[in-house]
Amino acid sequence: MRRVDGWRDRLTVMAFLAPALILIGVFLVWPALWALYQSFTNRALIGLTAMNPSFVGLDNYTRLLADGDFYASLLRTVTFVFFSAIVGQTLFAFLIAYLMANRPGWRLRAVPIFAVIFVLPLAVPETVAALTWASMVNGTESGLINRMIGILGAGPIQWLQDYAMETVTIVNIWRGLSFAMVLFIAALEGVPRDVLEAAMVDGASAWQQLRRVTIPLLRPQILTFLMLTTITTFGIFGLVYFLTRGGPGNATEIVGIYIYNQAFQFFEIGYGSAAGVLLLAILLGLGTYYVRLMRDQV
């Protein structure tokens, strides 16, 4: 790699980086700083504080840390992330990718057909996906899934009322499975064949090859995907909101929806900003933890 030396080279590098840095500053750094500032005020969308907010210090954070609804939404979010992102997307996607990848002694036919089926969710916008699934899990007899189980003689099920969290978890798994599968297939194809063949010669079973050879070699890729899917699922909003609006009751009110409700349903921008800042702190902590794990294994 050519070393950057001299003011001309530095100026050239900065010129290429400037557009990306400007976009990051305008759309990421500045909103985060503005939310941090708002979290120390009592700004609202209506009332006297809408035009003339005042500084309230840590009052919003004190109130937030004493709010049982916030802790309940945080617990729902952790449960949602564990089952949909860690268990669902990561584990299921890795197993599917492992079955589809070519390796010594194994080749699955019709791989292109399976690949097209699993990659289809990537082509569907989040809002369209949510509305499509809302139609499929319609609690009436006209819902697609209720029609299918009706063939077996089962009655219609109120999926978004009786099994709301389970339904949004399955939808999020379906939504993120494609990206995970593509990433893991690419990683599996990069595993040296001679290493796997040597393990076969030594008498290692398929399970032993997976546990002792493949997974240790793919640990960086697995940790990278875990970091991405954990952070994005922790901050998810649109998919769950368009499916359930956080209901029924508060059954699916995860942190993202809790923040939205506080800021735009109850009109408390300062309080909602405080919740957003705490969520940002949690995500930064998760990101730091995953980076440390990846650094330790190098």
Confidence check: pLDDT of 10 > 90: no
How many other C-beta atoms are found inside a 10 Å radius of the C-beta of residue 180? 26
1, with CB counted inside 10 A (0-12, 13-18, 19+), is: exposed
Q: How many Cα atoms sit within 13 Å of 118 on the Cβ side? A: 24
Q: What angle do CA 164, 237, 290 make, to 5 degrees?
A: 105
Q: Is 159 exposed, middle or buried (0-12, 13-18, 19+ CB in 10 A)?
A: buried
pLDDT value for 102? 66
pLDDT at 59: 94
Nearest Cα to 119, choosing from 186, 218, 191, 164?
186
Angstrom distance (rounded) from CA 256 to CA 56:
24
- Please give the Cα distance from 149 to 143 (Å, whole number): 10
Note the pLDDT tens digit of each residue in 207-265.
Answer: 888 888 888 888 888 888 889 899 989 989 989 999 998 988 889 999 999 999 999 99
E strands of 125-279, at which residues?
none
User: Other C-beta atoms within 10 Å of 278: how many?
Assistant: 19
CB 171 within 8 A of CB 86: no
Highest mean pLDDT among 5-9, 215-219, 293-297: 215-219
| 267 close to 46: Cβ distance less than 8 angstroms | yes
Question: Is pLDDT larger for residue 10 or for residue 275?
Answer: 275
pTM: 0.86
In terms of pLDDT, which residue wins out, 203 or 66? Answer: 66
- Mean pLDDT, rounded, for 120-137: 83
Q: What is the CA radius of gyration of the chain?
A: 24
Per-residue pLDDT tens over the stretch 15-41: 888 999 999 999 889 999 999 999 999
**Cα 244 from chain centroid (whole Å):** 18
**DSSP letters spanning 148-175:** HHHHTTPPP--HHHHSHHHHHHHHHHHH
End-to-end CA distance of the chain: 21
Q: Who has greater pLDDT, 119 or 73?
A: 73
Please report the domains of the chain, with CATH numbers, ordered by start residue: 41-297 (1.10.3720.10)
CA-based nearest residue to 123, from 111, 132, 112: 132
State how far the alpha carbon of 68 is from the alpha carbons of 258, 260, 274, 277, in Å. 12, 17, 15, 18
